[in-house]
Structure formats: C-alpha cells, structure tokens
Structure 1
Amino acid sequence: MNQKEYPPEVQSFLEHLRAMERSESTIEKYRRDIQLFYQHLPQGGQITREATAAFKSALCAHRAAATVNSMLVALNGYLTYIGRPDCRVKLLRRQRRLFREQSRELTRGEYERLLAAAAHAGRERLGLLLQAICATGVRVGEVKYLTVEAARAGKAEIALKGKVRTILLPGKLSRKLLRYAAGQKIASGEIFLTRGGRSLSRKLIWAEMKRLCSRAGVEPSKVFPHNLRHLFARCFYQSCRDIVRLADVLGHSSVETTRIYLVSTGAEHERTLDRLRLIS
C-alpha cells in the first residue's frame, strides 16, 4: 500500500489530533506510526486483532521497549478513533528505570561550556535561547511564548494541549530578553525569530545546538533542547525537593512523568550502592 492508498480515516484522525491541540511534532509522529502499521497489514488491508498483534510482534523484534510502547499508543488512539477498540493491543510492561545512561546526561558544567562556546562564536541569540529554555524548563515548542510582553511581566502564559500554565521568568533572564529584543528592534511579540522574522523551528534550534558541540567539547548525544529541560528539572528539584511543584512547573499531568526526569545516572546509583558498605 503506497502513501496515496492510505484510507481517509488517517488524515481525519490527524485533523482530530490537531483540533485537540496536539503539537505538530506529535501529529507527525502519529502519522508515521500509523502509516507504518498500514504497511505491515497483509494483502487486502483488513484490520483485525491478529493483524495488530502481528504488528506489535514485528516492532518488538527490532525496537526498544519504550519505542514500541510509544508507537502502540499512537496505534491504539487511532483504532479507538475509527471505532475498532476491539483491535487495540496491550503495551509492554516495563520495570521503572533505576538509572539512566551517563552518555545521555547533560551536566551543569557542560551546559556552561555550551554557553561559553556560543558567546565565543558570537551566537548571541543561541546563547540566550539556551539560557531561556534551561532557566524556565519550557519545551522547545513553547519558546514562542517567550515574548516581549512576557519578559516585561516576568511571566509567560503557555497554552498547549488544552491546558494553560504560567511560567515565571527569573529577573535576570527577563532583563536579558528585553535587552536582546531592543537590540533586534523587536517591540512586541516573540523574541526568538529568524532574520526573516519567523518563529524558530525545532529543526533549526536542534541544528544550531549541535553545531556548538565540537567547540564546547560536549558529546552531541547530550545536546538537544529537551535535555536542557531535564537539567532544569534536576536543578529545580535539588533546590526545593518538591516533585508535585516541579510537575506543575513542567506542565505534567502525572507525577510519574516527572519522576522520569529525576532518575539518577548509573554513576550516582553506583555511589549509592558503595555507601551501603555491604561488601567486606
């Protein structure tokens, strides 16, 4: 089945997600996952419980459990939408991770090296963007809410996924944002714009961050916008030790999601085990 043959229900479902105010990146991911499912359907394209179970098995053979579950969530949502909840499949049961890979954790020192590299390269916008994300914990898709008006008020109202939350901007960050906006002759609205006056895309932000890696001496695997959000979460929690408050700041509906941000590294876990002093 080629792309032109996908049933109209797929596009209808994507429009439904858009109406539910899902982000464009989420909608695109759901599109890819659902189209992959249709590619796995046997000749004739009939959706059956056997077909969805076979798709799950195929995913399990080649992908990590977390990836499989994220794809099954997309599929199950689509099956419910088209009136086939009987074909939904169960997610894989996973033990909660005790620690995360050291190779993926961005440390405060590495973050500071990225800022220094941006300053040395004359990348004022990028350096300020890194600080804005890391000092507030906003998602990369929420950068557009960091406006001149928000900087003046010291807070940003973020409306996504049918929810509105208020993000407080540190005074020092607000002053930096206003100075930058004045220098760019931005009197109102979004502060982080391209030279053509458009919002910065995820792809552009990602690419600009990656280009800093070699200059900063930081592994590229650690440098992406969401890792700045993770660094913010760890620093915030270390300061207040209030996971419920942190969940509110991050915009999480469940504290369980927030816990993922606070998983320690393997090295930290190993130090905890050593402190038990159970080996003679």
Structure 2
Amino acid sequence: MNMDASLIDRFLEMMAAERGASRNTLLAYRADLQGAATIVGGLSDATQGALGALSAAWATLAASSVARKASALRAFYAFLQEEGMRDDNPASVLPRPVTRRPLPKVLSTQEVDRLFALIEERVAVAHPAPADLRLAALIELLYGSGLRATELMSLPRRALAADRPFLILRGKGGRERLVPISDRARAAVSAWLSHVAADSPWLFPSGKTYLSRIRLYQLVKALAAAAGIAPERVSPHVLRHAFATHLLEGGADLRALQSMLGHADIGTTQIYTHVDSRRLVELVNSRHPLASMALHKPNRRVDDAASAS
C-alpha cells in the first residue's frame, strides 16, 4: 500500500500540472483511488480479475459516480503505462456507464493572440532573457503542435531538425505519430537552443533531468495572468485543446486531427465537434445551396380569403 501512496501522489501531481485539475478534483480522485485500493488489496500490481470486483462494489452507486471512479482508475493506469511502470492497463475491464461528457476548456483565438503578443514583446528586445526564449519555444510547441505536457518536457535536444517540418513521437500506449512543427516553432526552438548546454540530452533541461510538469504549469499560469487572462482558465492541456479546436474551426479534417493528437479512438477527437457546433450552424446558413434561395412567403390575400371561406 506504501507503493500505492507514492504512485497516487505522482499521478495527482501530473493531473495538476498537465491537466490543470482543481483541488476538489484531485481530492475526489485521491479518495476514489484509495477506496479502490482498499477493495482490491492494492493498485500497483492489480490484475484485470482483481479490478473486476469493483463493478459489484459500485453496483448501488449513481452512474455519474461510477463513471468518475472508473475514469480515475483508467487515467491512473494510463499514467503508469506511459511512465513505463506497467506494461498494461487493467482498467479496461471497468464499466463505462453512459453519461454526458463535459466539453473541454478552450481559449478563443483572441486570447491566444494575447499570449503570443506578450511573448513577442519579451523576445523582441536586443538581448532577450533565456527564460523568455524558453517560454516562447514551450508555448509555440504546446499550441502550435498540440503536444501533451509529458511529450513536450521529455523532447530530446535534437528532436527538431532545421530542414524537417515534423517530428515523430511515441505517445500513450507506445503509439507513434507524426506531429507537424510550424516554421514559427522551429525558429523559437532554434533561438532557445543556443542557451542549452551542448551535452544536454534534453531540449528543456532542468537539473539532472528535464523541466517538470509542475514548473511548466506554473509558467503557463504566470503567462496567462500577465496577459490579463484568468490563470485558472489556462493550463498546458487547455492549450492542447485550443490547438485542436482552432484547427477544426479552420477546416481541419477530423481524421487528420485524430492523428495529430494521438487519439486511439476517433470518439475522443469528436468531442471537439461539439465545441465547434455554432460555426457549423453558421456555415450551413451561409454556404448551403438553399441559403441563397429566397424564402417563399404565402400570399396574404389568398390566405385571408381562404380563412374567410
């Protein structure tokens, strides 16, 4: 159980830094994970068979409660798998009650412009601070390529080639995907690289390893506050959501977006179509062939005559 406590702490740290989870969410996840650990006798080495017993234990709970508990466990084991601490995700046996999925938090393009305007102001000086050059590279890659925080932090020093507008990442579940890298992002990374030690294995080093999720989370929050945006609305994961939403608004294909985000199931990607529903309605009203046809109005005199008879 001591191993469980350590792993749960590390998982919740990731949820706070990468996902921007609130204090209440973290407390709920901790309670859910500890409760499940008590039922199955420990989470770190639990099997699918052991987790299967949770369905019976949750039988009297509301669907929303079961969904939250199962989601916490799936996310926990996905984290262990991604960090190389497990080869499998035994939570696949857990129930998936039908509940309404919440829409992701997103920023408007105007708010993202404010973030970049502030960054550009800081790096446009004669001798920009290395911290500002690093921040520029981080934000360009978060919003410009939709990287997960863990993927971004652990990029090798030479991950980006000057003559290659993409990189190949190994993300969740060991799946490889091709991620486009904009000219802006490559230029920002190039400017930052001059401040990275030549013998560093990491693009964003910190001490003996790379920048932590918590530090990235703090940097993004501080940038939002300086740009006049409520810090609680912004996190590394929110910038990933903004990348996806704004691409879809610009006409990106859903399958292409799925590939760029590294989603195994297109159903995960489809959540962004709900965010974009207003634009789709406007598109139908303005671009559909019927939109250019005059609406037929009934002849009032005929209608009046018919009603009089």
State the partner residue of 2:294.
none
* Structure 1 residue ranges without an equivalent (≥5): 15-21, 276-280
Secondary structure of the 2:194 match is helix
State the partner residue of 2:162.
152
Could you tell me how far apart the structure 2 residues matched to 1:110 and 1:120 are?
Answer: 16
State the partner residue of 1:228.
239
| Residue identity in the other structure for 1:162 | G
State the partner residue of 1:246.
257
Could you tell me how far apart the structure 1 residues matched to 2:212 and 2:182 are?
Answer: 24
The correspondence for 1:260, drawn from 258, 271, 288, is: 271
The correspondence for 1:93, drawn from 89, 94, 98, is: 98
Does residue 133 in structure 1 map to residue 136 in structure 2? no
Does residue 205 in structure 1 map to residue 206 in structure 2? no
State the partner residue of 2:297.
none
1:84 to 1:261, Cα distance in 2 relative to 1, 3 A: closer
Could you tell me how far apart the structure 2 residues matched to 1:66 and 1:51 are?
Answer: 12
Could you tell me how far apart the structure 1 residues matched to 2:53 and 2:252 are?
Answer: 47
**Structure 1 residues 174-201: Cα deviation after superposition (integer angstroms, max 9, x where no partner):** 122112202444477432223x363111
Is this contact kept in 2: 1:147–1:189, CA < 8 A?
yes
The correspondence for 1:179, drawn from 175, 181, 191, is: 191
| Residue identity in the other structure for 1:264 | V
| Cα shift at 1:70 | 0.3
The correspondence for 1:168, drawn from 167, 180, 183, is: 180
The number of residues matched between the two structures is 240
Give me the identity figure in percent: 23
1:218 to 1:105, Cα distance in 2 relative to 1, 3 A: same
Secondary structure of the 1:158 match is strand
- Taking only aligned residues, the RMSD between alpha carbons, in angstroms, comes to 4.4
1:157 to 1:84, Cα distance in 2 relative to 1, 3 A: closer
Is this contact kept in 2: 1:72–1:91, CA < 8 A?
no
1:84 to 1:137, Cα distance in 2 relative to 1, 3 A: closer
| Residue identity in the other structure for 1:36 | G
**Structure 1 residues 234-269: Cα deviation after superposition (integer angstroms, max 9, x where no partner):** 222233431011111111111111112332279x48
State the partner residue of 2:228.
217
Could you tell me how far apart the structure 2 residues matched to 1:48 and 1:254 are?
Answer: 23
State the partner residue of 1:278.
none
Tell me the TM-score normalised to structure 1 length: 0.66
| Cα shift at 1:35 | 2.7
1:172 to 1:257, Cα distance in 2 relative to 1, 3 A: same
Could you tell me how far apart the structure 1 residues matched to 2:167 and 2:91 are?
Answer: 41
| Cα shift at 1:38 | 3.3
State the partner residue of 2:34.
35
1:146 to 1:59, Cα distance in 2 relative to 1, 3 A: farther
Could you tell me how far apart the structure 2 residues matched to 1:55 and 1:66 are?
Answer: 10
Secondary structure of the 1:253 match is coil
- Mapping of residues 37-116 of structure 1, within 5 Å: 37-39=36-38, 52-55=55-58, 57=60, 67-71=68-72, 73=74, 90-95=95-100, 100=103, 104-116=105-117
Could you tell me how far apart the structure 1 residues matched to 2:144 and 2:233 are?
Answer: 18
Secondary structure of the 1:94 match is coil
Could you tell me how far apart the structure 2 residues matched to 1:57 and 1:146 are?
Answer: 48
1:41 to 1:193, Cα distance in 2 relative to 1, 3 A: closer
1:141 to 1:59, Cα distance in 2 relative to 1, 3 A: farther
1:147 to 1:108, Cα distance in 2 relative to 1, 3 A: farther
| Cα shift at 1:159 | 1.4
| Residue identity in the other structure for 1:92 | P
Could you tell me how far apart the structure 2 residues matched to 1:84 and 1:106 are?
Answer: 32
**Structure 1 residues 81-113: Cα deviation after superposition (integer angstroms, max 9, x where no partner):** 9x999xx6532212456xx48xx3211221222
Could you tell me how far apart the structure 1 residues matched to 2:156 and 2:117 are?
Answer: 22
| Cα shift at 1:163 | 1.4
State the partner residue of 2:288.
none
Secondary structure of the 1:90 match is coil
Tell me the TM-score normalised to structure 2 length: 0.61
Could you tell me how far apart the structure 2 residues matched to 1:48 and 1:159 are?
Answer: 28
* Structure 2 residue ranges without an equivalent (≥5): 16-25, 42-49, 79-87, 123-128, 286-309
**Structure 1 residues 190-223: Cα deviation after superposition (integer angstroms, max 9, x where no partner):** 32223x3631111110111112232211122321
